[in-house]
Amino acid sequence: MGPAIFFHGWTLRRIHLLRGILILIMFAAIAQFASFALIQGHVVAFYGVQAEDVSFAWLIAYVGIATALPLQFKVAGSFSVRTYLLLSFLLSMTLNLGFTYTQNLWLFSVLRFFTGVTTCLVVGRTLVLLFTTLPETKRVLIGTSFFFSLILIGGPLVSWGASWVVDRMDWTAFYYVLMGLQLLAMAFVIAVFKGNTPQAKIPPADWLGAMLFAIAGGALAFAMIYGPRYYWLADPPIEIAAVLVFIFTLLFIWRQRIISFPLIDLVVFKYRRFIFGLLLLIFFYGVKDSLNLIYGYAVSVKGWSAQDIVEATTFNVVGIVLATIISVIAILQHKRNLIPLILVGFLVLFAYHLYFSTLISHDLSVANLSIPIFTHGFACGLLFVPISILCITALPPQNALTGIVICTYARFIASLNSIAGFFTLQLVCNRKHTDVFIANLNFLNQQFVERRSFFDNFLLATGFSNADAGKISNTLLAKSLATQAQLATIRSIFLLFTAMIGLMILFLFIYLLWSWKQRLVAQRVS
């Protein structure tokens, strides 16, 4: 269907303005989902919960997105676009009101699940409509670039305004700001969309399959987030969650095989190029989250505020936008350059990890941190669009939507692996480095003796007694030890990721040479 069916005539004469409005509508939906990353510290204080509880409330929204996305693709065309989007935004506003009144974490998590659903309803439908405004030959590339760039920079963009709100008033007030943004988006919906767009008969959809996936996804999130903290299967709730994941995943896959209207077409796994792209996507998602370690370092070691972190993300956003533009231009000019472009992106990601592993210390300035933060964004911009295009174009057109859904599943699983993996890596490495440092804390260590003497003399000079000075010195030494162990842990993780990315670069280089050789052989034969 062409854009004239959906949009008012005045918008078609201002097509660039129309595209901008559609992107703003998607941003209004993504803002509600992405804003939680900024206010999670306030959630801990408000509900009195642990960090893992907040992570679960964050990731359960991904389950909502992944559950709703395939259903949305099937049934959205059966409703008037304007009515569909307006109702979705009204549901989002209702959820925001619920967030301001709930005092229970598990009810809060349920609301977060439905936040993912409403985000998917708006973004999924608007993205398809954005495609109709683009030239057919460039539709997938440019539309996907807009969408994935918005996904990457949505969080930082929201945080710029949100940090000002949560630093000056009760954090729940931010939900009223979100509702104001959603009201603005609803005004845009009324302004650009016709009220009588064509509606098709509602097709059969696998609602039971969606329920099976939601249960499996929720149980998987619970097991992966709480597992590392409660010794995995030694804890009965984790054991129950693991059993639920196994049973409901099998039921979901079995159902997708036997029904005639599945949520996902399992035939996509017969395409090796799609599987190759999917593995690249999972790997990329896994290693890119190392940026959170830099932000964690800035908060715990440097004492940065939320506003400082928000300002630092500006460098990341600039890198993402700049690299995305470069990657889109490169793909438009040379459509076969996906693998070389991905290789360059991983080279930049390799340089980012190697550089920060040699740079990290206890006295880094904002200028020092801006370079790796920008480099990380530049690498993500070079990688996100080409890998996504590689996955989608590896499938026949009739399976493209299934490809998008499975890429969403991959993002969810990679996020869980990131949370569980980073926690485990930090726990193991921190314990190892702490043991090494403690073993060297003796009076044969000249550095330890000098630091202890410095603390003692300083405290005695300020009027403390010998006993009090000794206790405070021990506290200061313990704090210094913890900081050094944390720095060594971050360096170890960055070096590990440097090695992993180096192996990926080697593999891609060999694959690229093999592809060129195959192409030359094919040309000689023809």
User: Would you say residue 187 has pLDDT above 80?
Assistant: yes
Confidence of residue 247 (pLDDT cuts 50, 70, 90): very high
- Summarize pLDDT for 159-183 with one digit per residue, the tens: 666 666 666 666 677 788 888 888 9
Identify the pLDDT of residue 504: 93
Q: How far is Cα 145 from Cα 328, in angstroms, rounded to an integer?
A: 7
The pLDDT assigned to 252 comes to 92
CB 202 within 8 A of CB 72: no
Interval 496-516 mean pLDDT: 90
User: Which domains does the chain carry?
Assistant: 1-205 (1.20.1250.20), 208-262 (no CATH), 268-429+486-526 (1.20.1250.20)
**In the predicted model, is pLDDT for residue 44 greater than 90?**
no
Q: What are phi and psi of 304, to 5 degrees?
A: -70, 150
- Quick one: pLDDT band at residue 50, thresholds 50, 70, 90? confident
| Token representation of residue 306 | 């939320």
Residue type, 382: L
- The mean per-residue pLDDT over the stretch 381-396 comes to 86
What is the distance between the alpha carbons of residues 342 and 387, in angstroms, rounded to a whole number? 7
Q: Show the tokens assigned to 269.
A: 């796994």
More confident residue, 322 or 136: 322
pLDDT for the residue numbered 441: 67
In the predicted structure, residue 146 carries a pLDDT above the cut 60: yes
Q: Mean of the pLDDT values across residues 289-304?
A: 78
272 or 304: which leads in pLDDT: 272
CB atoms within 10 A of CB 401: 20
Cβ 195 vs Cβ 80: under 8 Å: yes
Distance CA 238, CA 173 (A): 35
Element (H, E) at 465: none
**pLDDT tens track for 330-365:** 887 766 678 888 999 999 999 999 988 888 777 777
Using the predicted structure, report yes or no on whether residue 8 has a pLDDT greater than 60: yes
* pLDDT reported for residue 500: 93
Instruction: Please enumerate in sequence order all residues whose Cβ is within 8 A of that of 248, keeping only pairs 6 or more positions apart, or say none.
Output: 212, 213, 215, 216, 219
- Ranked by mean pLDDT, the top range of 123-127, 241-245, 484-488 is 241-245
Q: Among 426-440, 447-461, 472-486, where is mean pLDDT lowest?
A: 447-461
Range of weakest confidence among 21-35, 199-213, 299-313: 299-313
Quick check: 414 and 62 in contact, CB under 8 A? no
How many C-beta atoms lie closer than 10 Å to residue 323's C-beta? 25
Rounded Cα gap, residues 437 and 321, in angstroms: 42
Predicted confidence band at 212 (pLDDT cuts at 50, 70, 90)? very high
Q: Which of 146-150, 345-349, 481-485 has the highest mean pLDDT?
A: 345-349
DSSP reduced 3-state for 193: strand
pLDDT of res. 251: 94
Average pLDDT, the chain: 81
Cβ contacts of 83 within 8 Å, gap of 6 or more: 195
pLDDT tens, position by position, 256-295: 888 888 888 888 888 888 999 999 998 998 888 888 888 7
pTM of the model: 0.84
